[in-house]
């Protein structure tokens, strides 16, 4: 930070960069240039998605990254927007876009305007509901990232694998009933 305070030109460049970031200009550039590219880990997803949350950073938003069968990006779409503490999320709307875009997999991302990326009980619940909705149409949920100062990855923490395993066990046990 001292570097900027001692150099007025740098401070101005930083202010211009920040305004461009908040304007959504970078987000729209990322949206277009990301198509056909693959993401290989949660940190890459976080780095790609952070600019999407810079504009209106005091509002919780959820984005979906729709992937093809080779895990290449088809599209990045804002799905839901809410208040500083929450956002209403509807799995059926995600499923509708998955079918429309012919996606084979999805990565969810949402921000916590507080900067704390620790998942809430609602975050776990909606992730479970989306996992079930996507699994039922044979679409993978690769990850759900909560982006704050850093990020939380449901996949990296092993939570998504456990949720998918429980879903698979339920489906398997249901076959024996019939």
Averaged over successive runs of 10 residues, the pLDDT of the chain (178 residues) comes to 46 64 58 75 92 78 95 92 66 95 97 92 94 95 95 97 90 73
CATH T-level topology, domain 2-177: Cytidine Deaminase; domain 2 (3.40.140)
CB of 137 closer than 8 Å to CB of 130 = no
pLDDT, residue 106, reads 98
Contacts of 141 (CB under 8 A, 6+ apart): 105, 106, 107, 108, 127, 130, 131, 134, 135, 160, 164
pLDDT in tens, 48-85: 998 888 776 778 899 999 999 999 999 999 998 765 55
Q: Residue 110: what pLDDT? A: 94
pTM for the model: 0.79
Q: How far apart are CA 133 and CA 152, in angstroms?
A: 22
Structural contact between residues 140 and 177, judged by C-beta atoms closer than 8 angstroms:
no
Domain regions of the chain by residue span: 2-177
Quote the CA–CA distance of 27 and 29 in Å, as a whole number: 5
pLDDT at res. 88: 74
The radius of gyration of the chain's CA atoms, rounded to the nearest angstrom, is 18
Length of the chain: 178
Task: Give the pair of three-digit tokens for residue 87.
Answer: 């956002």
Q: Name the DSSP class of 118.
A: P
pLDDT at position 54, please?
78
Place of tokens 């080779």: 70
CA gap 145, 21 in Å, rounded: 20
């Amino acid at each position: 930070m001292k570097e900027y305070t001692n150099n007025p030109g740098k401070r101005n460049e930083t202010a211009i960069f920040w305004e461009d970031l908040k304007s959504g200009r970078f987000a729209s550039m990322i949206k277009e240039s990301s198509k056909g590219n693959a993401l290989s880990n949660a940190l890459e997803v976080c780095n790609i998605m952070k600019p999407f949350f810079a504009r209106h950073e005091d509002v919780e938003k959820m984005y979906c990254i729709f992937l093809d069968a080779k895990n290449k990006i088809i599209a990045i779409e804002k799905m839901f927007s809410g208040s500083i503490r929450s956002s209403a999320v509807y799995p059926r709307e995600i499923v509708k876009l998955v079918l429309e875009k012919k996606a084979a997999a999805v990565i969810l991302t949402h921000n916590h305007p507080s900067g704390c990326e620790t998942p809430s009980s609602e975050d776990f619940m909606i992730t479970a509901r989306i996992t079930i909705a996507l699994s039922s149409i044979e679409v993978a949920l690769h990850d759900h990232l909560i982006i704050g100062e850093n990020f939380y990855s449901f996949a990296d923490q092993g939570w998504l694998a456990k949720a998918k395993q429980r879903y698979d066990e339920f489906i398997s046990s249901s076959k024996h009933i019939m």
